[in-house]
């Protein structure tokens, strides 16, 4: 008997068996985290009879598992951000009705009472040209100075101006976009000239794990709430929506639903429709 050949055959069979087991484990894991293509298609067909028209491609298949997140201390994060921007320059602080104003090297950084901010540089070098690639790199560096990692934000839009570029930065948490947390960063010359928006959320105070409904169940719940009203759904996006009690804020996963006539939210924690 050719033992070398037998060993080679057994090794090949073992590799195939391990590959099959790995695939089945992946398939099981995906079934747990995602609803199937066939289920989504059946749901889209059934929803038509309930007055909701949506393409199966627009129904999110990933099951929502993101927790409600309570954040606090955004003011402290902004103060740290200012100190990093100021470097060795002295920082003075004043408090106004609108919020807290930090000043350094003739630059101002205002943190407003609602958690938004505005940063203005006195001398931005506006007469100097800058490439889009360089401007985008400067934008990323500016955001990362705040303490955020590349997983915490995405540049979603860019616009060219006479002196440079303006980039829109979308904030993320647990891989979900946070509604309303966008920042416009203007690059003029070879530095950040201005920035304004909402960027920092604070530290995680607590997380509340909840067994949320999947997108299909949400759509049927909406159909029941609407009664005989018909709706053409264009997009359905899982998003974190922030509360209004700054500086301690609850970020709740919600589906933001865009229709052909209006937009609304579905709060996964309460089952409420928010217009």
Tens-place pLDDT, residues 130-141: 889 999 999 999
User: How buried is residue 227: exposed, middle or buried, by Cβ count under 10 Å (0-12/13-18/19+)?
Assistant: exposed
- 255 closest CA partner among 245, 234, 240, 243: 240
Phi-psi region of 273 (alpha: psi -120 to 50; beta: other; left: phi over 0): beta
pLDDT, tens digit, for every residue of 7-56?
Answer: 555 555 555 444 434 333 333 334 568 999 999 999 999 999 999 999 99
The predicted model gives 183-196 an average pLDDT of 92
Residue 48 exposure: Cα atoms within 13 Å on the Cβ side: 7
Domains and CATH numbers, the chain: 34-68+206-274 (2.40.128), 74-201 (3.30.310)
Tell me what pLDDT residue 19 has.
Answer: 44
- Of 83-97, 139-153, 238-252, the range with the lowest mean pLDDT is 238-252
Tell me what pLDDT residue 4 has.
Answer: 59
Nearest 10 degrees: Cα torsion 79, 80, 85, 90: 70
Tokens of 4: 């070398």
Cβ(221)–Cβ(235) below 8 Å: no
pLDDT at 269 > cutoff 50: yes
pLDDT, tens digit, for every residue of 96-142?
Answer: 999 999 999 989 999 999 889 999 998 755 556 788 999 999 999 99
Q: To the nearest whole number, what is the mean pLDDT of the chain?
A: 86
């Amino acid at each position: 008997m050719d033992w070398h050949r037998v060993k080679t055959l057994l090794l090949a069979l073992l590799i195939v068996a391990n590959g099959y087991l790995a695939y089945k484990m992946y398939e099981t894991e995906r079934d747990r985290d995602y609803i199937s293509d066939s289920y989504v298609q059946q749901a889209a067909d059934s929803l038509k009879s309930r007055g909701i028209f949506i393409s199966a491609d627009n129904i999110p298949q990933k099951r929502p598992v993101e927790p409600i997140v309570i954040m606090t201390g955004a003011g402290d994060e902004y103060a740290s951000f200012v100190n990093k921007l100021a470097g060795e320059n002295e920082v003075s602080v004043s408090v106004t009705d609108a919020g807290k104003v930090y000043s350094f090297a003739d630059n101002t950084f205002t943190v407003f009472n609602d958690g938004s901010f505005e940063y203005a540089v006195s001398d931005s070098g506006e007469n100097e040209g800058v490439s889009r690639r360089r401007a985008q790199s400067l934008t990323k560096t500016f955001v990362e100075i705040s303490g955020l990692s590349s997983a915490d934000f995405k540049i979603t839009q860019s616009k060219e101006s006479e002196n440079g570029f303006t980039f829109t930065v979308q904030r993320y948490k647990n891989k979900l976009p946070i509604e309303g947390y966008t920042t416009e960063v203007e690059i003029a010359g070879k530095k950040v000239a201005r920035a304004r928006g909402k960027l920092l959320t604070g530290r995680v105070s607590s997380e509340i794990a909840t067994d949320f409904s999947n997108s299909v169940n949400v759509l049927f719940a909406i159909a029941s709430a609407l009664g005989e009203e018909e709706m053409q759904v264009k997009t359905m996006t899982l998003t974190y929506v922030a509360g209004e009690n700054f500086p301690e804020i609850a970020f709740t996963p919600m589906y933001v639903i865009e229709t052909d006539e209006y937009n609304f939210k579905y709060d996964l924690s309460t089952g409420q429709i928010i217009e």
